[in-house]
Amino acid sequence: MQRSDVVQAILDLYEAPSYLEIGVETGETFHAIRAARKVAVDVKFAFDLDAARTAVAGQDVHFHECPSDGYFERIAEDDRFDVVFIDGLHTFDQTLRDLLNAIQHLRDDGVIVIDDVLPPSYAASLPSLEQNIAFRKARGIQPIDWMGDVYRLVFFIRDYLPGFSFATLVENHGETVLWRGTRALDAAPRSVEQISRMSFADCQFHRDDFNITSFDEIMKRLRGR
């Protein structure tokens, strides 16, 4: 499934949804989304920003070219979103900050979607793009496919956010969907340090922790909240 298909289906659960996207780049997902209010945040948009603003003149659509941390520092405390899509810098540290900030600005029945949580290879799971490029160059592997260590975030959610239910789509490269719903914590949660050291191999050995589920089933759970 395309990212926009997943996000749009969730947005359609709301009458007049407010949507936030962190990490927009070319705008492939953001431009395809329909919502009453849309907010895009990226350090550097990979499209003509003036043309994009002209195209949505008169609509409740906003573009913020800045780091996501800076955006969250500036917005009003009571600013809330129905759906937040996180697809920014592909590191555990930054994605964790984006997630915690997003939770602070999520409506009670809101949903967060996190992209790139199931790297398809060791190279794709390397923490930095520079490491990914160097490894692929040494091995003669093309093209570049980088998801970073965002996968560690799912282990954090599992062990430290009992107020949220979550599931990871089986239909695409890995998107984890979160919504408020109390669940039991594991009897022996990992420490944050342990999570920060987890590797690509752990994605394979502990795939059950990702709660991989069909999108139809995820939508059924969201409708039944």
Residue among 184, 172, 170, 173 nearest 214 (CA): 170
Residue among 127, 103, 130 nearest 114 (CA): 103
**Alpha carbon 30 to chain centroid, angstroms:** 13
In the prediction, which pLDDT does 225 show?
82
Q: Is the pLDDT confidence value at 146 over 80?
A: no
Q: What mean pLDDT is predicted for residues 63-87?
A: 96
Type of residue numbered 219 = M
d(Cα 143, Cα 189) in Å, to the nearest integer? 37
State what percent of residues in the chain have pLDDT above 90: 76
Mean pLDDT over each residue of the chain, to the nearest integer:
93
Q: Is the pLDDT confidence value at 187 over 90?
A: no
The residue extents of the domains of the chain are: 3-223
Q: Is the pLDDT confidence value at 169 over 80?
A: yes
In the prediction, which pLDDT does 173 show?
76
The more confidently predicted of residues 145 and 109 is 109
In the prediction, which pLDDT does 199 show?
94
Q: Is the pLDDT confidence value at 94 over 80?
A: yes
What phi and psi, each to the nearest 5 degrees, are found at residue 169? -60, 140
CATH 3.60.20.40 applies to domain 3-223: no
User: Is the preceding peptide bond at 119 cis, omega within 30 degrees of 0?
Assistant: no
Q: What dihedral angle (degrees, nearest 10) is formed by the CA atoms of 30, 130, 210, 219? A: 10
Q: Is the pLDDT confidence value at 124 over 90?
A: no
By residue count, the chain amounts to 225
Position 132 confidence tier, pLDDT thresholds 50, 70, 90: confident
Q: Is the pLDDT confidence value at 114 over 80?
A: yes
Q: What mean pLDDT is predicted for residues 49-71?
A: 96
Decide: pTM greater than 0.85: yes
Q: Which helix (DSSP H) or strand (DSSP E) does residue 166 occupy?
A: strand 164-169
Position 171 confidence tier, pLDDT thresholds 50, 70, 90: confident
Q: What mean pLDDT is predicted for residues 120-137?
A: 84
207-218 residue pLDDT tens: 999 999 999 999
